[in-house]
């Protein structure tokens, strides 16, 4: 379903553990000749008894997958071909919504803003995230305190974070420009400027990478100590250990966070929304894709149009994910079992 | 320089680096707490005054009167606790089934589960909204709670990885003793997966506690608002009450900080990508 082909091929994904026994023992027993149909039926029944528990245990998710994912996914395709809104039933209009999107200037603006954000945020997030995780993985006292501190910005409510940043980056009395002016640089007006509003947002988002850092930390914990012991015996220095042990063995986790980072970057909503009270100012430079989607769906009640946007987003994210999966074979290393 | 001395120096420099970096990450928190204790006139001054004088404790009481704080707190707790309970009940058992039980279609379904993680929430947002609308649940907290009881793909994935790392021998031994699959799960495997269950619980707790877009979509009546929606009211009603807003933000943040501080070690242990530990 809607997955890049190679995803199923063994290690491509975040190492799916264990072997994946496919066809043979998964399917119902091989059909016997006709005269033994009774036995087959009995066997089937016995097999059902064997498989029952598995199905039963997984059943909440099978229902959840259908109700909260599969059916909405399919119906959103349908809605994207209609003029549906809560206020009126809507008519089927074929590709009209998509055609309209292609001529919607604000749509393209929101695509540009989102891509701009993703292009800078995702790589920077990985570099900072890995660096922070490595720092927080050192064996020194009081690490619990440090880890909590680095996680703090993730725990502060977004609405409060937005206000804090409006203050920090205020051109008149903000801390950032205050510091810049003491060293003789006249700072830009940050969130008030079309050029600087997106870099400001990237900066803010980088502050909240605590969640990714936790995942990297878990990945670092998975690297066996023996490798470092062996490297120490060989007299390897910090650089060699980092670039020849830590980073290569962390690539599966980096890969996971890269995919999640791309998806997250394209879903940027709460921070710019609260920062601009949903307006995307100045000059729509902070109107991100999902903000515009939200406006269309829940402010203008153009739910058909918004569904078309959702599908375009889905296709973009899928294409990017597929691309990452394809390249991953070149740079993701899995620890041999 | 002898070895122990060298170790000491490197440890010392590690602390220096960590402290400097910590400083940057503490700014938002310190500012939030300090603003929560300031009168409005002191909030935007330059150079900034980090320590409010006089300390205005009354902001906290004023904030609780400015918005129906306890109603919002109650709503937030109900939604957060129930959705966390839902995730912790549903995800481990599904993950266990994926990791340890055999049934036809299991692997395909697991691959689909990973694929579902990659669907942006906005794609299903509108049909889901319409579904809940049809069920008459818009304007109630149910849409924010119910889905958790049916499993969340990211958590199922994390838990499955953890269960995969647990040995099969225990399960087999219990089976020979005649224990039912559910008993094996509930009394043996689930307790062993505690770190992962805790990680999932904490993830869900934090996500639900600070969720903004969910309540924004589904809670129509201000009596049902959560704290993260309530925060906005300090900005829109009569001018902006920064001090009060930060007082509520602080009260929202502290419990999660404490939770994270005490659980972080187990929390990180619970997330595993290979299980080769």
A266 at B interface, C-beta within 8 A = yes
In a domain, B277, yes or no: no
Q: B205 touching A, CB under 8 A? A: no
Segment B118-127 mean pLDDT: 81
CB contact under 8 A, B274 and A334: yes
B167 touches chain A (CB under 8 A): no
CA distance A168 to A173: 8
User: A232-241, B44-53, B172-181, B228-237: which has the minimum mean pLDDT?
Assistant: B44-53
Q: Are B156 and A62 in contact (CB under 8 A)?
A: no
Does pLDDT of A51 surpass 50? yes
Structure tokens at B133: 């609308």
Q: What confidence score (pLDDT) does residue A13 get?
A: 40
* Spatial distance between the Cα atoms of B210 and B206, rounded to a whole number of angstroms: 6
Q: How many domains does chain B have?
A: 2
Chain A closest CA to B208's CA: distance in Å? 11
Residue B276 binned pLDDT confidence (cut-offs 50, 70, 90): very low
pLDDT of res. A36: 54
pLDDT at residue A7, as a whole number: 37
Confidence of residue A37 (pLDDT cuts 50, 70, 90): low
Of residues A48 and A151, more confidence is placed in A151
> What distance in Å separates residue A120's CA from the closest CA in chain B?
20
* Gap from A36 CA to chain B (nearest CA, Å): 23
Q: How far, in Å, CA of A313 to CA of A308, rounded?
A: 9
With beta carbons less than 8 A apart as the criterion, state whether A325 and A4 touch. yes
Q: How many CB atoms lie within 10 A of CB A63?
A: 14
- CB of B237 less than 8 A from some CB of A: no
Given this model, what pLDDT does residue B268 score?
83
Q: Residue range A181-205: average pLDDT?
A: 85
Same-domain pairing of B33 and B136:
no
Q: Which residues lie across from A157 on neighbouring strands?
A: none
How much of chain A, in percent, has pLDDT values that exceed 70? Answer: 85
Q: Do A306 and B275 touch (CB under 8 A)?
A: no
Q: What is the pLDDT of residue A4?
A: 40
pLDDT value at residue B26: 86
Nearest-CB residue to B26 (from A22, A152, A178) = A152
Q: State how far residue A327 is from chain B, nearest Cα, in angstroms.
A: 17
More confident site: A90 or A96: A96
Q: Is the pLDDT of residue B126 over 90?
A: no
CB pairs under 8 A between A and B: 304
At B11, the pLDDT band (50, 70, 90 cuts) reads confident
Nearest-CB residue to B252 (from A73, A157, A269): A157
Query: B181 with B44, same domain?
Result: no
Average pLDDT, chain A: 82
Cβ neighbours of B130 in A, within 8 Å:
75, 86, 303
Would you say residue B158 has pLDDT above 90?
no
Residue A188 has pLDDT above 60, yes or no: yes
In-domain check, residue B196: yes
Judged against a pLDDT cut of 50, whether residue A18 lies above it is answered with: no
- The residue among A59 and B172 whose pLDDT is bigger is A59
| Calpha distance A292→A104 (Å, rounded) | 11
A64 closest CB neighbour out of B114, B147, B249: B147
> For residue B121, what pLDDT is reported?
80
Do B261 and B198 reside in the same domain of the chain? yes
The answer on B227 and B249 residing in a single domain is: yes
Rounded distance, CA A232 to CA A223, Å?
15
Evaluate if residue B170 carries a pLDDT over 50. Answer: yes
Is B11 in the same domain as B113?
Answer: no
Q: How far is B25 from chain A (nearest CA, A)?
A: 6
Instruction: State yes or no: pLDDT of A337 exceeds 70.
Output: no
Where in the sequence is the domain holding B120, given as residue range(s)? 66-270
Amino acid A335: pLDDT: 67
Distance between CA atoms of B202 and A14, rounded to whole angstroms? Answer: 22
Q: Among A19, A60, A299, which would you mutate to test the B interface (most chain B Cβ atoms within 10 Å of its Cβ)?
A: A60
Six-digit token string for A161: 């974070």
pLDDT score of A39 more than 50:
yes
Q: Is residue B12 part of a domain?
A: yes
Nearest to A252 among B123, B127, B273 (CB): B273
B49 plus B174 within the same structural domain: no
Could you say which architecture CATH assigns to the domain A104-331?
Answer: Orthogonal Bundle (1.10)
pLDDT score at A336: 54
The CATH number given to whatever domain includes residue B96 is 1.10.3720.10
Could you say which of A15, A57, A60 has the minimum Cβ distance to residue B273? A15
Mean pLDDT of B162-181: 86
Query: What is the average per-residue pLDDT within B76-95?
Result: 96
* pLDDT tens-place string over residues A260-319: 899 889 888 888 888 887 788 788 888 999 999 989 988 888 889 999 999 899 888 889
Residue B105 sits in the same domain as residue B143: yes
- Same-domain pairing of B225 and B240: yes
Highest mean pLDDT among A82-91, A182-191, B144-153, B250-259: B144-153
User: What would the mean pLDDT of B170-174 be, rounded to a whole number?
Assistant: 85
- For residue A138, the SS3 value is coil
The pLDDT value recorded for residue B208 is 92
Chain centre to alpha carbon of residue A97:
27
Domain presence at residue B276: no
Minimal CA–CA distance to A56: which of B228, B108, B204, B90? B90
Residue B120 — pLDDT band, cuts 50, 70, 90?
confident
pLDDT of residue B46: 66
**What Å distances lie between residue A105 and A101, A111, A195, A265, B59, CA to CA?**
8, 10, 19, 21, 45
Which residues, 6 or more positions from B207, have their beta carbon under 8 angstroms from its beta carbon?
A: none
CA distance A272 to chain B (A): 12
Shared domain check, B42 and B82:
no
Please confirm whether the linkage preceding B123 is cis (ω < 30° from 0).
Answer: no
Q: Residue window 3-62, chain B: list those with CB within 8 Å of chain A.
A: 11, 14-15, 17-18, 21-22, 24-29, 31-32, 43-48
B89 pLDDT tier (thresholds 50, 70, 90): very high
Average pLDDT of chain B to the nearest whole number: 87
Q: How far is CA A102 from the centre of its chain?
A: 26
Question: Within 13 Å, how many C-alpha atoms sit on residue B172's CB side?
Answer: 4
Closest CB to A61 among B104, B150, B181: B150
Q: Tokens 């009354």 appear where? A: B58
Asked whether residue B242 falls in the same domain as residue B259, the answer is yes
- Written as one string, the DSSP assignment of chain B is --HHHHHHHHHHHHHHHHHHHHHHHHHHHHHHHHHTTS-HHHHT-SS--SS-SS--THHHHHHHHHTTHHHHHHHHHHHHHHHHHHHHHHHHHHHHHHHH---TTHHHHHHHHHHHHTS-HHHHHHHHHHHHHHTT-TTSSHHHHGGGGG--HHHHHHHHHHHHTS-SHHHHHHHHTT--HHHIIIIIIHHHTHHHHHHHHHHHHHHHHH--HHHHHH--SGGG--HHHHHHHHHHSSS--HHHHHHHHHHHHHHHHHHHHHHHHHHHHH--SS---
Q: What is the dihedral of CA B52, B55, B58, B59, to 10 degrees?
A: 10
Chain B residues closer than 8 Å to A51 by CB = 102-104
pLDDT, mean of residues B216-227: 91
Does residue B54 sit in the same domain as residue B87? no
pTM, to two decimals: 0.81
What's the pLDDT at B84?
Answer: 97
Q: Does pLDDT of A330 surpass 60? A: yes
The predicted structure's pLDDT at residue A17: 44
| Residue B6, pLDDT above cutoff 80 | no
A270 and A201 Cβ atoms separated by less than 8 Å: no
**pLDDT category, A44, cuts 50, 70, 90?**
low
Per the model's pLDDT, the better-predicted residue between B146 and A221 turns out to be B146
Does the distance separating the beta carbons of B29 and A153 come in below 8 Å?
yes
CA A46 to chain centre: 42
| Domain membership flag for residue B243 | yes
**Centroid of chain to Cα A330:** 21
Asked if residue A169 has pLDDT above 90, the reply is: no
Residues B24 and B133 in one domain: no
pLDDT at B145: 96
How far apart are the C-alpha atoms of A111 and A291, rounded to whole Å? 11
Based on its alpha-carbon atoms, the radius of gyration of chain A, rounded to whole angstroms, reads 26
pLDDT of residue A128: 93
């Amino acid at each position: 379903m809607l997955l890049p082909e190679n995803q199923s091929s063994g290690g491509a994904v975040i190492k799916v553990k264990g072997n994946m026994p496919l066809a043979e023992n998964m399917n119902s027993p091989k059909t016997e000749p006709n005269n033994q149909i009774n036995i087959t039926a009995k066997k089937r029944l016995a097999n059902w008894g064997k498989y029952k528990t598995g199905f039963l245990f997984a059943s909440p998710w099978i229902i959840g997958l259908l109700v909260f994912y599969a059916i909405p996914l399919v119906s959103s395709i349908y809605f994207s071909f209609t003029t549906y809104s809560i206020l009126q039933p809507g008519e089927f209009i074929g590709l009209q919504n998509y055609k309209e999107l292609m001529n919607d200037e604000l749509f393209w603006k929101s695509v540009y803003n989102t891509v701009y954000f993703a292009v800078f945020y995702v790589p920077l997030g990985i570099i900072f995230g890995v660096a922070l995780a490595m720092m927080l993985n050192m064996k020194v006292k009081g690490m619990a305190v440090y880890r909590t501190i680095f996680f703090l910005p993730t725990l502060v409510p977004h609405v409060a974070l937005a206000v804090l940043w409006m203050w920090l980056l205020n051109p008149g009395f903000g801390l950032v420009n205050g510091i810049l002016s003491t060293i003789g640089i006249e700072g830009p007006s940050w969130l008030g400027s079309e050029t600087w509003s997106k870099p400001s947002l990237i900066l803010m988002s980088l502050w909240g990478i605590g969640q990714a850092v936790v995942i990297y930390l878990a990945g670092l914990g998975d690297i066996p100590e023996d490798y470092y012991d062996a490297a120490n015996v060989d007299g390897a220095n910090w650089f060699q250990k980092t670039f020849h042990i830590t980073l290569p063995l962390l690539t599966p986790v980096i890969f996971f966070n890269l995919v999640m980072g791309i998806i997250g970057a394209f879903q940027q909503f709460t921070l710019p929304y609260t920062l601009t009270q949903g307006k995307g100012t100045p000059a729509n430079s902070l109107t991100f894709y999902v903000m515009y989607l939200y406006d269309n769906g829940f402010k203008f009640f153009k739910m058909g149009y918004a569904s078309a946007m959702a599908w375009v987003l889905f296709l973009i994210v899928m294409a990017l994910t597929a691309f990452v999966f394809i390249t991953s074979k070149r740079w993701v290393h899995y620890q041999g079992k | 320089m002898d070895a122990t001395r060298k170790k000491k120096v490197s440890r010392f420099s590690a602390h220096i680096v960590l402290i400097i970096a910590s400083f940057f990450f503490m700014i938002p928190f310190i500012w939030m707490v300090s603003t929560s204790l300031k009168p409005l006139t002191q909030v935007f001054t330059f150079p900034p005054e980090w320590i409010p004088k006089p300390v205005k404790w009354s902001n906290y009481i004023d904030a609780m009167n400015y918005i129906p704080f306890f109603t919002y707190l109650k709503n937030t707790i109900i939604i957060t606790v129930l959705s966390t309970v839902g995730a912790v009940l549903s995800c481990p058992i599904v993950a266990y089934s994926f990791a340890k039980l055999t049934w036809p279609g299991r692997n395909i379904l697991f691959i689909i589960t990973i694929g579902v993680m990659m669907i942006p929430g906005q794609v299903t947002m509108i049909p889901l909204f319409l579904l809940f609308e049809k069920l008459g649940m818009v304007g109630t907290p149910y849409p924010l709670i119910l889905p958790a009881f049916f499993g969340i793909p990211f958590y199922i994935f994390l838990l499955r990885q953890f269960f995969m790392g647990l040995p099969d021998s225990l399960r087999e031994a219990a089976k020979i003793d005649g224990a039912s699959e559910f008993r094996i799960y509930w009394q043996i495997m689930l307790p062993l997966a505690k770190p992962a269950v805790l990680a999932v619980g904490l993830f869900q707790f934090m996500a639900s506690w600070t969720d903004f877009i969910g309540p924004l979509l589904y809670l129509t009546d201000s009596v049902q608002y959560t704290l993260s929606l309530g925060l906005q009211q300090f900005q829109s009603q009569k001018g902006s009450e920064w001090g009060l807003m930060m007082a509520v933000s602080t009260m929202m943040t502290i419990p999660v900080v404490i939770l994270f501080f005490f659980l972080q070690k187990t929390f990180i242990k619970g997330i595993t990508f290979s299980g080769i530990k």
